[in-house]
Chain A
Amino acid sequence: MRRRATKHSFDSERLTPNTFAYILMLPAAIVMFGVVIYPFFYNVVLSFSNMSLRHFRDWHIIGFKQYAEVFSGKIFYSVFLKTVIWTAVNVFFHVTIGVLLALILNRKLFGKAAIRTLLILPWAIPQVIVALTWRSMFNYEYGAINLFIAQYLNMAPIEWLGKPLEAFSACIITNIWLGFPFMMTIALGGLQSIPQELYEAAEIDGASGWQKFWTVTAPLLKPVMIPAITLGIIWTFNNVNIIWLVSNGGEPSDQTHILVSYVYKAAFNLYRYGYAAALSMVIFLVLLTFSLVFLKRTRASEAAY
């Protein structure tokens, strides 16, 4: 047996299990080092430097000045607040709509498979297209939404993209539309794994539909949903696409930014590299702290990996 194995040019048999594991890991590890770990530390260095377009070659370390600038600016707090609202509202609707639709789709219904497929579409369509399409639908004069409001609701058209609150709402509406299918899919998977006998047992005990939901469905769905919600929060918090493309880079007058779009602008439109690096670090630490607390609270860290 041993002889036959040695005929292979890649002879895993002679290696200790650990060496084999390292070999399997190696390609991914090299890539990760080059494109994640090294840039990460480079970003840490940048955050302590004065690098900008003007100081691109002659940059030097200036200590915590960039961090001080992040926290001394008033805009940081208002953008941070908007980010929290953005994340909370989006994830709330993603989960509520997602679970609601999953519950309906889990029943026996005519045309269920087709409807499920159609409902996944927002997830399947590239985010850029979703964002730009909704932006065109929010157009004041020619956008479908204002035309609909004028024709069927008899209301005055809304200046969606020209005013801060309306533009921010437009971004949120777009993101809710594209985000619920993910939660729906996860919830549907979770529902299908709940044994039917549990519902039968609850029925024998005389439980109403509402009681069945809270005593059988909700507790069993929770371990599946918690990691998905954690991911959803992180993804939404970090989603630069929708804000950037629907509000066209924070319009009107940088009033619709969330943290990531604000950093993106600082880095690539204003070329404030050191400042952007420091702000990236702050965002990262906020998310890290949140995730640790959230996962600990919900005791889902086991289920998460």
Chain B
Amino acid sequence: MRLKVKGQKSRGVNLRAKVVSLVLYLLLVGFTIVVLYPIVNVFSISLRPSDRLLSTSLSIIPHDASFHAYEALFTQTPFLLWFWNSVLISATVTITGVVLASTAGYAFSRFNFYGKKSAMVGLLVTQMFPPTMLLLPMYIMLLKLHLINSYLGIIVIYTSTALPFCVWQMKGYYDTIPFSLEEAARIDGATRWVAFRRVVLPLAAPALVITALFSFMTAWAEYVVAAQVLQDTSLFTLPLGLKQFESSMSTQWGLYAAASLIISIPAVALFLILSKWLISGLTLGSVKG
């Protein structure tokens, strides 16, 4: 008897649930279209033949699609050089960031030492610096040290931008790893360093991945710092090169679109491959702690 009543009730609920589901689904699809459209738009521009770049057509694949822009990008512009510059800078920043943040974060998580609390608060406070706060003094310092137009200057700035967040989020993640694991390793004769290196670090892999990703993205796609520090075209990173195409939009729109897609691909691919880790790393590390 009771079961039957429940069944009738759930049938009514079911219909309503279906309608709700449909509405939510449409909403989701709507947002997906809004998200995808600009990407599709860029793709479509990159396929236009060079004499029809300024088109008022809204069709996705132009009827006379060509890969001319891609070809021109690699043969007629310093795009490959810029690509290499960006790879070099981003890789250095990523490696430095991971090494520094993983060790410092561990110290913050496991040890009590003089100045620990104020250092943690200090790291948080740096997040509130407006970008010019450090950029301007660093820029003047670089000018005085004749490090403008050098990679050393920009690598140092990028590392410092990414580091506070990375240390913080590494610390948060280490906090979730039980201390007893290291104790067990230590009882088995491991030194503190070995316990950290062989036991804790592998377990912190998700946080390391986030740190690496964050450092990489800081460097790969950065524009405002690079625009001041790197002024020689042969030293340009990808975003600077891209802005150059965009500035002369009428003639180089196709180059701009093709370059955008190629620059986005490594960043987006990394992001998507790691998106599973991203959620656990971010919520466990930086947010919950």
Contacts and interface: CB of A to CB of B under 8 A. Distances in A.
Interface of A: 1, 4-5, 8, 10-13, 15, 17-18, 20-22, 24-25, 27-29, 31-32, 34-36, 39-40, 42-43, 46, 51, 97, 100-101, 104-105, 107, 109, 115-130, 132-137, 141-142, 144, 147-148, 151, 177, 185-186, 188-190, 192-193, 209, 223-224, 227-228, 231, 234, 238, 240-241, 244-245, 259-260, 263-264, 267-268, 273, 276-277, 280-281, 283-284, 287-288, 291, 303-305
A227 B221 contact: no
Contacts of B159: 31, 35
Contacts of B168: 305
A8 B283 contact: no
Contacts of B275: 116-117, 120, 185
A34 B193 contact: no
A303 B160 contact: no
A130 B271 CA distance: 16
A137 B127 contact: no
A276 B132 contact: yes
Nearest to B114: A18
A32 B160 contact: yes
Given A5-B191, A118-B32, A28 B104 contact: yes
A126 B264 CA distance: 6
Contacts of A115: 28-29, 32
Contacts of A51: 140
25 contacts: A10-B191, A17-B192, A28-B167, A31-B156, A40-B134, A116-B275, A120-B275, A122-B35, A124-B264, A125-B39, A127-B223, A128-B242, A129-B239, A136-B249, A142-B55, A144-B58, A151-B58, A185-B275, A189-B287, A190-B283, A234-B128, A263-B132, A276-B136, A291-B128, A303-B289
A125 B268 contact: yes
B137 A104 contact: no
Given A42-B137, A177-B38, 14 more contacts: A17-B111, A35-B159, A36-B164, A115-B28, A117-B272, A120-B271, A121-B39, A128-B243, A136-B253, A137-B38, A267-B136, A284-B128, A284-B130, A303-B288
A150 to B, nearest CB: 9
B127 A234 contact: yes
A287 B133 CA distance: 13
A24 B197 CA distance: 12
The CB with the most chain A CB atoms within 10 A, among B21, B38, B160, is that of B38
Given A136-B253, A241-B224, A177 B133 contact: no
A12 B191 contact: yes
- Say which size band chain B's interface belongs to: 35 or more
Interface stretch (B61-69, B71-79, B118-126): B118-126
A137 B194 CA distance: 54
* Interface-central residue, B134, B136, B268, by most chain A CB under 10 Å: B136
Contacts of B167: 28
A21 B133 contact: no
B100 A28 contact: yes
A125 B249 CA distance: 21
B157 interface: yes
A27 B130 contact: no
A296 to B, nearest CB: 14
A25 B104 contact: yes
Given A147-B56, A305-B289, A24 B104 contact: yes
A280 B138 CA distance: 14
Sort A-B residue pairs by CB-CB distance and give the 5 closest, nearest first: A126-B221, A189-B283, A21-B111, A35-B160, A124-B271
A109 B25 contact: yes
In terms of DSSP, what is the predominant structure of the interface of chain B? helix
Contacts of A105: 28
Given A123-B271, A126-B263, A27 B132 contact: no
B185 interface: no
A223 B140 CA distance: 41
Contacts of B268: 121, 124-125
Contact of A8 (B112, B191, B217, B288): B191
A147 B34 CA distance: 15
A281 B130 CA distance: 8
B156 A34 contact: yes
A1 B242 contact: no
Nearest to B42: A133
Nearest to B272: A117
B84 interface: no
B279 A129 contact: no
Contacts of A128: 221-223, 239, 242-243
B113 to A, nearest CB: 5
B191 to A, nearest CB: 5
Contacts of B100: 27-28, 31
Contacts of A223: 288
B101 interface: yes
